[in-house]
Structure 1
Amino acid sequence: MKICVRDHKVPFKTHKLYDVIVDDEEIETLVTHDPATVSGWIDNTEILHQCRLHRLIVGLDVEWRPHFSSSNCPAHHVATLQLCVAESCLIFQILHASKIPRRLKEFLADPDYTFVGVGVKHDARRLWNDWGLQVSNTRDLRYWAAKELNEKELRGAGLKDLAREVLGEDMNKPLNVTLSRWDNRLLSKCQVAYACLDAYFSFEIGRRLSAWY
Structure 2
Amino acid sequence: MTITIVDHGILFLLHDPYNLYDISFYGFRVRTVLTHSPTRASSWLSSRGSQPRLIGLDVQWRTDFGPDDNNPPVVLQLCVGTHCLIFQILHAPEIPQALADFLRNPRHVFVGVGIDQIVERLRCDYGLAVATAVDLRALAARELGREELRRAGLEELAREVLGRAIERLERVEGSQWENMLLSSVQVLHACLGALVPLQIGEALNAGGAQP
Q: With structure 1 as the length reference, what TM-score do the two structures score?
A: 0.91
Inter-partner Cα distance in structure 1 for 2:54 and 2:110: 6
- Among 92, 95, 98, the alignment partner of 2:93 is 98
Aligned residue number for residue 4 of structure 1:
4
Q: Which segment is superposed worse, 192-201 or 37-46?
A: 37-46
Taking the aligned partners of 2:162 and 2:86, their CA distance within structure 1 comes to 23
- Percent of aligned positions with the same letter in both sequences? 43
Greater share of helix residues, 1 or 2?
Answer: 1
Question: Quick one: structure 1 residues 32 and 212, their matched pair in 2 at CA, closer, same or farther if it must change by over 3 Å?
Answer: closer
Hey, what does 1:35 align to over in structure 2? 38
Query: Superposition RMSD on alpha carbons, in Å?
Result: 1.7
Mind listing any 5+ residue stretches in structure 1 that lack a counterpart?
Answer: none
**Equivalent of 2:160, from 160, 165, 185?**
165
Question: Which sits farther off after the overlay, 156-165 or 23-32?
Answer: 23-32
- Give aligned pairs, total: 205
The structural deviation recorded for 1:203 is: 0.4
Deviations 1:1-21 (A, max 9, x none): 632211112432521000112
**1:135-172 residue CA offsets vs partner (Å, 9 max, x unmatched):** 11100000111111111111111111110011000111
- The answer to whether the aligner puts 1:150 opposite 2:145 as a matched pair is yes
Query: TM-score, normalised to structure 2's length?
Result: 0.91
Q: How does 1:29-178 map to 2 (within 5 A)?
A: 29-46=32-49, 53-54=51-52, 56-67=53-64, 69=66, 72=68, 74-178=69-173
After superposition, the Cα gap between the structure-2 partners of 1:95 and 1:68, relative to the gap in structure 1 and judged at 3 Å, is closer
Q: CA deviation at 1:178?
A: 0.5
Query: CA shift at 1:65, angstroms?
Result: 2.1
Residue of structure 2 aligned with 1:24, choices 23, 27, 40? 27
Runs of at least 5 residues in structure 2 that lack an aligned partner in the other structure: none
